Amino acid sequence: GAVVSQHPSWVICKSGTSVKIECRSLDFQATTMFWYRQFPKQSLMLMATSNEGSKATYEQGVEKDKFLINHASLTLSTLTVTSAHPEDSSFYICSARVGGGRVETQYFGPGTRLLVL
């Protein structure tokens, strides 16, 4: 199946700094990528939908100025957590949509664990 990578896999940062997470589709082009957040022992919470060449669509309650998303190419989307605080510590997972309609499937990256001290 399609491969999605994330970098870094682990990041520890000080409160107030910004952290950038990259999501890449390695063997396919993805016009749409999604960013999720997962708390321990909980399901995935969709944060935003990232569309190549346009602004991301954020879910209700997600601060777009805090979680900056850029989808500059068909194989790369980035999530920047600005001025991170300890409550931003979480597991962030991206996914890329392949195909459309009946053949559509989402493939997920391995996740990035963020710890803000």
Partner 1 sequence: AQSVAQPEDQVNVAEGNPLTVKCTYSVSGNPYLFWYVQYPNRGLQFLLKYITGDNLVKGSYGFEAEFNKSQTSFHLKKPSALVSDSALYFCAVRDSSSGNTPLVFGKGTRLSVIA
The least distance separating partner 1 from the CB of residue 1, rounded to whole angstroms, comes to 6
Stretch touching partner 1 by CB under 8 A, among 1-9, 11-19, 64-72, 80-88: 1-9
Contact between 34 and partner 1 per CB under 8 A: yes
Q: Which residues of 76-86 are buried (b: 16+ CB within 10 A; e: fewer)?
A: bbbbebeebee
Question: Using CB under 8 A as the criterion, what x/- string covers residues 41-80 for binding partner 1?
Answer: -xxx-x--x-------------------------------
- From the list 93, 96, 114, 116, which residue makes contact with partner 1 (rule: CB under 8 A)? 93
Q: Does 28 bind partner 1 (CB under 8 A)?
A: no
CA distances to 21, 28, 86 from 71, rounded to whole Å, are 12, 15, 26
Report the alpha-carbon distance of residue 66 to residue 77 in Å, rounded: 16
Q: Burial letters for 25-42: b for 16+ Cβ neighbours within 10 Å, e otherwise?
A: beebebebbbbbbeeeee
89 binds partner 1 (CB under 8 A): no
Query: CA 74 from chain center: how many Å?
Result: 14
Which residues of the chain form contacts with partner 1 (CB under 8 A)?
Answer: 1, 4, 6, 32, 34, 42-44, 46, 49, 91, 93, 95, 97, 100-111, 113
